[in-house]
Amino acid sequence: MKHRVYNGFPLVIETDIDGFIYGEISDHFDFDEEVGCTFGDGFVQAPNGSRAGIIWEVSEKPYISTCIEPERIRWGVYNVGFVKPIKTIDDLVYNFKTIYPLIKEAYNNAKMGK
């Protein structure tokens, strides 16, 4: 049986927006800083089940930049800016909502081969 990329890491169903769901690689709730988790790794699953990697950090504004171009196994790996540290599931949901338009655009561009 063929495994898909990021197999074994959990999807965070609470983040679901139009079928795009954030998946956790780093434990966002195990943090050393009092303010919460300020960086980490995750992935996004698109409505069709395909996935992309996410390397995130806290920044003043949401942003996205390509780290690894789309390839056969995933539609890329992206550096993104979350606007607040993560202490709770609500923080994670809020951050995913702020980058969602950027993620959707990256997905559409990868799908179209742009």
**The domain containing residue 22 runs over which residues?**
13-111
- Is residue 31 within 8 A of residue 80, CB to CB? The reply is no
Q: Quick check: is 66 in a domain?
A: yes
Average pLDDT, stretch 44-60?
Answer: 97
Would you state the torsion angle of the CA atoms of residues 74, 78, 56, 20, taken in this order, to the nearest 10 degrees?
A: -50
Q: Quick check: is 44 in a domain?
A: yes
pLDDT tens profile 101-113: 999 999 999 976 6
Q: Quick check: is 55 in a domain?
A: yes
Q: Quick check: is 4 in a domain?
A: no
Sorting pLDDT into bands at 50, 70 and 90, what band is 1? very low
Q: Quick check: is 84 in a domain?
A: yes
Q: Quick check: is 71 in a domain?
A: yes
Q: The tokens of 83 are what?
A: 């606007």
pLDDT tens profile 2-46: 568 999 999 999 999 999 999 999 998 887 778 999 999 999 999
Per the confidence metrics, is the pTM higher than 0.85?
A: yes
Q: Quick check: is 1 in a domain?
A: no
Beta strands 51-58; 77-82: pairing state: parallel
Domain count, the chain: 1
Q: Quick check: is 70 in a domain?
A: yes
